[in-house]
Chains A and B, each alone.
Chain A
Amino acid sequence: MRLESRSEYSPRAMLFAPIVAVLVTLGVCALLVAWAGAPVGQTYALLFDGAFGSRFALAETLTRATPLILTGLAAAVAFRARLFNIGAEGQLYLGALAAVAVGGMHGGSTFDLPLPLLSALMIAAGAAAGALWLLGPAWMKLKLGVDEVVTTLLLNFVALLLVSMMLDGPMKDPLAMGWPQSVALDPELEFSRLIERSRVHTGLLMACGLAILVWLIERFTTFGFALRAVGANHRAAAFAGLPVGRTVLLCALLSGALAGLAGVGEVAGRTSYVTTDMSPGYGYAGIVIAMLAGLHPLGVLLAALFVAAVQVGADSMSRVVGVPNFIADVIVATALLTMLVATLLTRYRLRWGRT
């Protein structure tokens, strides 16, 4: 077997790749469902129903998609510049922590600010916390050549421990009776409901707006051009006079901020306080979403919806048939691998036999 570069250029193939990848994934995972002793057709039907089958299901899926869009964007924009930010999970937690630090700790006196200003400050603090957390690894990559994948991965653990430490210490909720959770956000600062009698909050609008904004930046600005050029060929980018280092650092700030905002959205829109289990791996799922979207910011919207649907649907399905909801994680992981292969095949053709 060998690979042959495709000489023709086909943007359409990029559109088909994710569809094929998802179909293959569902096919492979059907085997697992069967192994768990459940009827495949019914399981998938229940999964779909659990994600889209009712007003409540759809609302839950959209709620779940909100942080996923943001972590997906964080990964997509960073990967575009070939900055492998695997630390969105940690950046999300720090974003959430910073939001509560600004919006929950004041107890009515420390920050005597008008509400809109405080709200903006809370959002900015969350974004800044995520951004700064990624700045270190990005700087180390640029100046020392330290692989950012390993550093961002390791910092995820540090971030979570940091959160845990804060929940035991200065940000401990005195009313939680030993339960590890932070003080609550000022209720005034919580995002409002987008759909009544559901958990969908205005964070979804923020996420969608940011997806469009990131797309506009990548497509139409000189920074976006530098981002793409640095990612595709940093030597050529440097030769053409593009500021490679500045672009990577700005990209890190943008990516970290997006992941931090995912944390803000979760706190302000859903939980209102920070716990150490508030993210079931949103940061890692973001990588899958970015890959499924072919790193396209608008594609992230669809990919995040898909992953959210799988996760929400699997929860609901597992309550009916005996298939553990971990099937959602398996589907997401498999989708990542099949998407990788599908993307490769848009650029290379497999040839069997001799050269």
Chain B
Amino acid sequence: MNESLPALRLANITKRFGKLVANDDISLELGTGEVLALLGENGAGKSTLVSILFGHYVADEGHIEVFGQPLVPGNPKAALAAGVGMVHQHFALADNLSVLDNVLLGTEPLWLPFSRRRAARARLLHTAARFGLGVDPDARVAALSVGERQRVEILKALYRGAHILILDEPTAVLTPQESESLFATLATLVAEGLSVIFISHKLDEVLRVSARVAVLRGGRLVSVRNTEDTTKTELAELMVGRSVTLPTREPRPHGDMVLNLSGVHAAQGGKTLLDDLSLVVRAGEIVGIAGVSGNGQQALADLLCGTLAADSGEVSVSGQAMRANPRDWIARRVARIPEDRHAVGVVGDLPVWENAASERLHLPAFSCAGIVRGKAARAFTRTLVEQFDVRLSGIDVPARVLSGGNMQKLILGRALSVAGDDVTPTLIVANQPTWGLDIGAVAYVHRCLLDAAAAGAAVLVISEDLDELFAIADRIAVMFKGRLGPALPTEGCSRAAVGLAMAGSAASDTKGASQHAA
């Protein structure tokens, strides 16, 4: 290995979007056979930097060299040809095509009158064997597990002979155990002479896999540390830039049973979504639902937001059986925070005030005989905007122009304020409430949930972020393949045990215990 020539050199990269400087004069080197971690919060400029490297964006200033050769900017093809491979957080795979199709795309000249599929297949199997990444080339991607899909993504890059691999938040969708297996793969890759950029905001895994850590904050490179010379605390401070103390839970007395699920089944299109689910959430407590994405959390959230009907079993709030109708849930003062702010949370093209009042527009407070009382709805919105500190230029602008954090505050406000008076919600259902938010907004959301619980609300938080659950939840239950494990007190939970349950090994054994815990 040639130690003197870096695999990758970024020199003075600057990228602006309007007034925002997404990358500010960033210079960075990646050594051959090295794992470099790129650490930073959401919005720190990691994605922009990688997009520039991969040719999705062109930098306003600066240049990039790969193995000493300048890289043509703004051209994914050039990056691929130079040996840069990318594994996206949201896999860039076509579900309806085979693994081989997905790998083969773009590796042959487009105008070739035939495809050399047999040779390609042999080469794919060879590459897979060399790096220990077994997959079936003929399987449809839709039939693969998340871990297998990630392997296909890595194989796609390796098949093209990538020397530099960029992994964007690769563990976000994996169980702790699957993550371990990914780390082992990374070790193999590095041993074979590849260089890896590992993008993450999780401190533990950064410390675990990388040789060096580059910390980005507000678009600037604040520090590059050798991993062995740094600590978690130091990295956290570098990443956040100020000491933000995230609120944590305090022991509270729990009140009456609010949410009661027992033996709930739900299926859609012949596919079981929820399988014999039982759970109790009491007033004043926060229950966290952990799990790898796609194990039924969305269905559980839909059930508790009134958009999915249970086929059998009992669903009740404060003793009242609930129907699958969002208005019933809203009427029972259930505050619902959806996972996808843009697609489900707001109607982006409609003004902020209509979005704020949308859940209750049919109630007498906001309409009379089908006619909207615009004045009342606007007044309600103004109060909400002030109370929840939503920053905007006016309540008549379309909701889509709000930033992620402000949009989430608007949704929080809509869910938590009940028509002006300060009635606490009976139940809060929050699905990934802090996804994609910066740490200030995360703290705000956590504060809101904790305050609501202290005021007597029952809170259910669904999250893929274990740190979040361990910080605020009183009890944690794990979802796996539509089944829900027992909700155990956070004090008694270890990350290892939760991780195992997320991979499915413990969920079935403890099924009997769930009734007990309830």
A binds B: yes
Q: Which residues of chain A have a CB within 8 Å of any CB of chain B?
A: 7, 9, 220-225, 228-229, 232-233, 235-242, 354-355
Known: A225-B372, A238-B307, A355-B58. A232 touches B354 (CB 8 A): no
User: Could you give 6 example pairs across A and B, Cβ below 8 Å?
Assistant: A220-B374, A221-B371, A222-B367, A239-B345, A240-B347, A241-B329
Name A220's contact: one of B325, B343, B372 (CB within 8 Å).
B372
Central interface residue in B58, B370, B397, by most chain A CB within 10 Å: B370
Name A222's contact: one of B74, B338, B370 (CB within 8 Å).
B370
Tell whether B348 is near chain A: CB-to-CB under 8 Å: yes
Q: Are B56 and A355 in contact (CB under 8 A)?
A: yes
Name A236's contact: one of B344, B367, B370, B372 (CB within 8 Å).
B344
Central interface residue in B18, B362, B367, by most chain A CB within 10 Å: B362
Q: Are A239 and B344 in contact (CB under 8 A)?
A: yes
Known: A232-B348, A233-B347, A354-B73. A239 touches B307 (CB 8 A): yes
Name B350's contact: one of A232, A238, A239 (CB within 8 Å).
A232
CA distance A229 to B353 in the complex (A): 13
Known: A229-B350, A233-B349. A239 touches B338 (CB 8 A): yes
Contacts of A229 in B (CB 8 A): 347, 350, 354, 358
Q: Are A235 and B372 in contact (CB under 8 A)?
A: no
CA distance A239 to B346 in the complex (A): 9
| Smallest beta-carbon distance A347→chain B, Å | 10
The 0/1 profile, CB within 8 Å of A marked 1, for residues 322-348 of chain B is 000111011000001010000111111
CA distance A177 to B330 in the complex (A): 66
Q: Are B350 and A7 in contact (CB under 8 A)?
A: no
Q: How large is the interface on B (under 10, 10 to 19, 20 to 34, 35 or more residues)?
A: 35 or more
The 0/1 profile, CB within 8 Å of A marked 1, for residues 301-328 of chain B is 0000111000000000000000001110
| Smallest beta-carbon distance B340→chain A, Å | 8
Q: Residue of B at shortest CB range from A223?
A: B370
Contacts of B57 in A (CB 8 A): 355
Contacts of B346 in A (CB 8 A): 233, 236
Q: Are B343 and A232 in contact (CB under 8 A)?
A: no
Tell whether B361 is near chain A: CB-to-CB under 8 Å: yes
Contacts of B61 in A (CB 8 A): none
Known: A233-B347, A354-B74, A355-B57. A239 touches B371 (CB 8 A): no
- In addition to A7-B401, A225-B358, 8 A-B residue pairs with Cβ atoms within 8 Å of each other are A221-B372, A222-B367, A229-B350, A236-B343, A236-B346, A241-B325, A242-B358, A354-B58
| Smallest beta-carbon distance B353→chain A, Å | 11
Contacts of A236 in B (CB 8 A): 343-347
Q: Are A238 and B326 in contact (CB under 8 A)?
A: yes
Tell whether B147 is near chain A: CB-to-CB under 8 Å: no
Known: A221-B371, A233-B343, A233-B349. A239 touches B305 (CB 8 A): yes
